[in-house]
Structure 1
Amino acid sequence: MSGPTAFFNRTYDETMALLIEARNYIAYNETADQRGLPPQVRLQVSYESLRVTSRLTQVMAWLLAQKAVHAGELTTQQVAGDEYALSGGDVCTDPSGPDNEDLPAGLRSLLERSHKLYMRVERLDEQVRRAVA
């Protein structure tokens, strides 16, 4: 297995594991974690859960495009275009959440790890675009 492919596979596996963990949190723990919380904190929990989901789906879409390049299905020039760019903007790059003690610990952990992953992939996206330019 070549270096770049191995790297993308590890990042893909990390992203998939976080997606499954986030799905499980939302499906099985989020409601219980929200019991007894004030309405504004429950709203914040929902908002932050969506932020985690947005980050991870954006990263997964970007990684799938990169896998398509490695498989010869797309060209590097194609994935360097806006159609395959990592998106999410300010919502995904905002690092807030993990330090909010009002939020459940599981969600804070997902927020922190999804942010680190998103920022790492954002740097990779920039590298891919510079290499093609």
Structure 2
Amino acid sequence: MSQPAFFRRTYDETMTLMVEARNYLTYSERRERDRLGGMIGLRMSCEAMRVTSRLTQVMAWLMLQRAVQEGEIEVEDALRDECRLSGTEVCLDETFSGDETLPNHLRSLMDRSFRLYVRVARLEEMLVQRVLH
């Protein structure tokens, strides 16, 4: 069964962001954090973890939806509370989104991962409304 276009685009976007975030965190973030040091370095680490949390939550949700599309799991099972997108308290926190002391690349990842997480949360809510109500 082929995936709907919105799913393929969202999956590809998530995978691209995951690879970009991994590359940034592996090759750049540590040097920038060490160079900036202090509270900014700590904030960078926290925001990098937030980006990672958003992306892993979204990818887990997308993989579950793929299992639904492939007939491996029923849609009602995929929408149970324990299978839903989680981590909202952490993932929706934008406290430092406008902090210009953070490196531009990290702020870009923060913004794009936030918008992706919000979009997937809306998709999930639409599914819940359509299927469970």
TM-score under structure 1 normalisation? 0.93
- Aligned residue in 1 for 2:115: 116
Shift of 1:10: 0.8
Secondary structure at 2:72's aligned position in 1? coil
Is it true that 1:98 corresponds to 2:79 in the alignment?
no
* Alignment: residue pair count: 132
Structure 1 residue runs of 4 or more that deviate by more than 4 Å after TM superposition? none
The SS at the match of 1:36 is: helix
Unaligned runs of 5+ in 1: none
Cα offset, 1:38, TM superposition: 3.5
Structure-to-structure mapping, 1:1-133, within 5 angstroms: 5-133=4-132
> What value does the CA root-mean-square deviation take over the aligned residues?
1.4
Q: Which amino acid aligns with 1:91?
A: V
Cα deviation 1:65-90 (Å, max 9, x = unaligned): 11111101111101110121000111
Whole-angstrom CA distance in 1 between matches of 2:27 and 2:82? 34
Letter in 1 for 2:7: F
Between the two proteins, what is the percent identity of the paired residues?
A: 51
In the alignment, structure 2 segments of 5+ residues that lack a partner are none
Q: How far 1:97 sits from its partner (Å)?
A: 2.9
TM-score, length basis structure 2: 0.93
Give 3-state SS (helix, strand or coil) of 1:11's partner.
helix
